[in-house]
A = this chain, B = another copy of it.
Amino acid sequence: MTLRIGILVFDDAEELDFVGPWEVFTMANEMAKRMGREAPHAVRLVAERDAPVRCAKGMRVLPDTTTGQCGALDVLLVPGGQGTRREVNNTALLEWIAATAATATWTTSVCTGALLLTAAGPAKGKRVTTHWAFVETLRARNEASEVVANYRYVRDGNIVTAAGVSAGIDMALWLVGEWHGADFARTVQRGMEYDPAPPYQGLT
C-alpha cells in the first residue's frame, strides 16, 4: 500500500526542513523502482493556495496540491522556519493540521514546525523536540508535556518531532526504517550517500 505523505509548505518555511525529508521519501521510491518494487510513497507538497510559496531564504516552490484538495494523509510533515510565527495564528491552517493529524498514522515536524503541532493540538501534552534555539520558547508555551534538547528526533506515540533544519533528514530515514525495515532504509541512506562529515566538529 502506497503511503500518502503530505509535506506542508507555507511562506517562510525553511528550505532544508522540508527538502531533506522530501529527498528521503522520494529516494525511497527511486530505490524501490530499481529493485522492481512498487513506489512505497506518494509524496506531495501541500499549501493553502495553489500559488508559488516563497520560502524563508527566498527559494520559490510550487505546491502539488492544496489543503482543501489533498484529502486524507497517512503521514503529515510540518516544517519550521520564520513563517511558523505567523502561521501559529492562522486558525484555518491549525484546524487543517488538527483534522489531518486526527486520521493520519504519523504526524511529524521538523525544527520550529513543532510549534504548529503543539498549537494545533496533535502534539499538545506530548514529548517533543525543536530547533535548539527555540527550546525555551516552546517550553514557555506550556503546550507540550516536555520539550527535550539534544536529540535529533523524538517519538511520542504517533507524533515524531525533529530538531533544527538538518535533523529532518535523520528523522525521515528513521521513519522509512519503521515503515519498510532497516535494510531498505539503509539502501535509501546509501542512495543519498548520507555519510555526513560536517567540517566543524561539535556544535558548541
Contact = CB atoms under 8 A, between A and B. Distances in A.
Contact of A61 (B60, B167, B189, B193): B60
Given A131-B193, A165-B193, A177-B200, A61 B62 contact: yes
A111 B194 CA distance: 12
Contact of A196 (B43, B57, B169): B169
A92 interface: no
A58 B189 contact: no
Given A52-B62, A61-B60, A61-B61, A23 B165 contact: yes
Contacts of A61: 59-62
A91 to B, nearest CB: 28
A20 B194 CA distance: 12
Nearest to A176: B199
Nearest to A29: B57
A132 interface: yes
A198 B198 contact: no
Contacts of A180: none
Contact of A57 (B27, B52, B174): B27
Interface string A6-30: 0000000011100110110011011
A42 to B, nearest CB: 10
Interface of A: 14-16, 19-20, 22-23, 26-27, 29-30, 43, 45, 52, 57-62, 64, 111, 131-132, 152, 163-167, 169-170, 173-174, 177, 182, 185-186, 189-200, 202-204
Closest 10 pairs (CB-CB, A-B): A164-B193, A26-B57, A16-B23, A19-B19, A60-B62, A196-B196, A165-B192, A186-B200, A174-B199, A166-B194
